[in-house]
């Protein structure tokens, strides 16, 4: 039986999903809609979704676009119960290959956007005693590598501490904040590596398997559910034993 994502009727839940056109974002929307949630889907690219989903177009690094997306969600549905921030963009190379412009752009997409959405959503999440799921990466825990780039690794480490900071700051309001730190996920993001690169990456994972987007989406649903009502400030490690705490 599917996990319900709130003690309230599932059809009353309103969840804003960012990075909605990506492989993980699309899978999260499918899963949460299956559980009965009402979805607002935000992305800079067109969102491939049904008419039942509120599609929001904008730049996640633009404060005005972020504030507008949250406002439109609340205007449409009257509340906001959860935020799932799945915006992300990888880079490549070491520090000497990274220009200041590239550094700032990577931090803006991967870290600033999470800050902007969390800040804009804060009063609405407090009103509903809602929940947030942010996305880090194994790169944010291990230091990363040139495969995804220095700025990506640093930004994803920042996401970890943003989740922990907000978990403490928002606890009194009853808002939970958790983080998923996936290893490689079998989405289009891995296509840049080519077949040989994918094979080499797979061989670094002890379980010798990539996570799927649907598996990650199930983890999101779990973290938003009443089964995790006492869980906040945690990092969900899903790396096939690539990272061990």
Active-site residue list: 152
Residue 196: Cβ-neighbour burial (10 angstroms; 0-12, 13-18, 19+): exposed
Centre a 10 Å sphere on the Cβ of residue 50 and count the other Cβ atoms it contains: 10
Q: What count of other Cβ atoms lies within 10 Å of the Cβ of residue 40?
A: 25
The DSSP string of 91-126 is: --S-GGG--HHHHHHHHIIIIIHHHHHHHHHHHHHH
In angstroms, how far apart are the furthest CA atoms of the chain? 53
Tokens of 193: 């590596």
**Cα gap 107→114, rounded to integer Å:** 10
Please count the other Cβ atoms lying within 10 Å of the Cβ belonging to residue 59: 15
How many whole angstroms separate alpha carbon 118 and alpha carbon 102? Answer: 24
């Amino acid at each position: 039986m599917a996990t319900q994502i709130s003690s309230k009727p599932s059809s009353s839940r309103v969840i804003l999903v960012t990075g909605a056109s990506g492989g993980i974002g699309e899978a999260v929307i499918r899963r949460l809609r299956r559980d009965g949630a009402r979805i607002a889907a935000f992305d800079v690219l067109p969102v491939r979704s049904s008419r039942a989903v509120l599609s929001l177009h904008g730049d996640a690094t633009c404060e005005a676009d972020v504030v507008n997306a949250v406002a439109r969600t609340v205007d449409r549905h009257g509340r906001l119960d959860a935020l799932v921030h799945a915006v992300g963009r990888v880079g490549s190379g070491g520090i000497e290959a990274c220009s200041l412009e590239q550094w700032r752009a990577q931090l803006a997409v991967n870290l600033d956007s999470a800050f902007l959405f969390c800040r804009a959503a804060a009063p609405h999440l407090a009103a509903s005693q809602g929940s947030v799921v942010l996305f880090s990466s194994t790169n944010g825990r291990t230091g990363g590598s040139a495969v995804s780039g220095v700025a990506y690794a640093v930004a994803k480490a920042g996401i970890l501490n943003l989740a922990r900071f907000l978990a403490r700051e928002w606890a009194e309001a009853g808002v939970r904040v958790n983080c998923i730190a996936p290893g490689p996920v079998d989405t289009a993001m891995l296509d840049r590596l080519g077949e040989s690169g994918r094979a080499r990456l797979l061989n670094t994972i002890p379980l010798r398997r990539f996570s799927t987007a649907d598996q990650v989406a199930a983890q999101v649903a779990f973290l938003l559910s009443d089964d995790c009502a006492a869980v906040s400030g945690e990092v969900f490690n899903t790396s096939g034993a690539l990272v061990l705490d």
